[in-house]
Amino acid sequence: MKTLILREPGLLVAADTPEPGPPPPGHALVRVHRIGVCGTDIHAFNGKQPFFSYPRILGHELGVEILEIGEGETDLTAGDRCSVEPYLNCGTCIACRRGKGNCCTRMQVIGVHADGGHRERFIVPLRKLHRSERLSYDQLALVEPLGIGAHAVDRAAVESGETVLVIGAGPIGLAVIQFAAAAGARVLVMDVNETRLEFCRRMPGVADTILVGSADVAEELLRLTDGDLPTAVFDATGNARSMAAAFDYPAHGGRLVFVGLFQGELAFNDPNFHKRELSVLASRNARPEDFTRIIGLIEDGKVDTSPWITHRAPFHQVPDLFPDWVKPETGVLKAMIEVV
């Protein structure tokens, strides 16, 4: 079976691996059709992804087809097209018992802690498959990153009429923008890349953008908010300097949500934090209901994924192309891998 393996940072290689056996009860054998490339994959390739070990089969943004189903009751059937919820939670820990399986104490994320979808076929728990009769495999692969943004906006409990700032206009930042705008917020976007900001200016709900380095960020935020500052700030960069600076951007009484993460410690000025009575939140993964909701939104035409995919390639070309995809200057917003 054709497989791509990240053997060590910077070394993604093609290999032949054994075919998976028949699916056990409660599981399905799936054929991988599409794989989205995300920031986690790029961080892993660059050797900067927390909670990661090598070698690893990457790939957790997946559009798949069910080939065979193991024993057990299910409404799924062979031939169904599905998005994969890649968060393998235990179901019994304190987080899972309280309905927060997205931050399970024994979390295993497909393509991060466990081998993922950079292969032709593999076995997935049935409860992690979300079917759609109408979405393409491209669209199904993009449900997971959209879920990350939807969950982050829910964590902040964004309300209509708020002004929010999204830092980082990569795919996860774009997902945050999409759902913050859907909640009725006025969205400001900040990034170091003017091309990405130009893309954001065409998105509904984006009121203005800030190019880092072109102006004093704090002064620009005050100008754009009539001196109030944003009531919710989302950092989707996974960059330590950006995350530390983000403590200066929320309004008094506001919220700061870290969607991206990095491998290290984060420091902030306590008086500045306390005087604003900030709420600082982490946002991890997404919930099953996010997948269901997003599939419905795409099916109804309320979320358009077509502008996201800027690069695509067949499976066999990926080892040669991946080193360029991780470089910001190549302009990759979302690369899509075509397996079948």
The set of residues, in sequence order, having a beta carbon less than 8 Å from that of 327 and lying 6+ positions away, is none
Same domain, 278 and 319: no
Same domain, 232 and 114: no
pLDDT tens for each residue of 161-220: 999 999 999 999 999 999 999 999 999 999 999 999 999 999 999 999 999 988 899 999
Same domain, 130 and 159: no
pLDDT tens for each residue of 226-267: 999 999 999 999 999 999 999 999 999 999 999 998 888 999
Same domain, 67 and 190: no
Tell me whether residue 239 is in a domain: yes
pLDDT tens for each residue of 296-312: 999 999 888 888 899 99
Q: How many domains does the chain have?
A: 2
Tell me whether residue 289 is in a domain: no
Global pTM reads: 0.93
Q: pLDDT at position 245, please? A: 96
Q: pLDDT at position 127, please? A: 96
Tell me whether residue 293 is in a domain: no
Q: pLDDT at position 312, please? A: 96
- pLDDT score of 334 more than 90: yes
Same domain, 26 and 82: yes
Q: pLDDT at position 329, please? A: 82
Tell me whether residue 37 is in a domain: yes
Q: pLDDT at position 307, please? A: 86
Q: Which residues of 210-242 are buried (b: 16+ CB within 10 A; e: fewer)?
A: bbeeeeebeebbeebbeeebbbbbbbbbbbeeb
Two tokens at 209?
């953008």
Tell me whether residue 291 is in a domain: no
Mean pLDDT of 282-307: 94
Q: Who wins on pLDDT, 328 or 128?
A: 128
Residues in the chain: 340
Rounded to the nearest integer, the mean pLDDT of the chain is 95
Tell me whether residue 268 is in a domain: yes
Same domain, 72 and 92: yes
> Cβ-count burial of 130 within 10 angstroms (0-12 exposed, 13-18 middle, 19+ buried)?
buried
Q: What are the backbone angles phi and psi of residue 235, rounded to the nearest 5°?
A: -105, 115
Domain containing 67 — which CATH number? 3.90.180.10
Same domain, 119 and 15: yes
Task: Classify 10 in phi/psi space as left (phi over 0), alpha (psi -120 to 50) or beta.
Answer: left
Same domain, 82 and 164: no
Same domain, 154 and 130: no
Q: Range of 107's domain?
A: 2-142+305-338
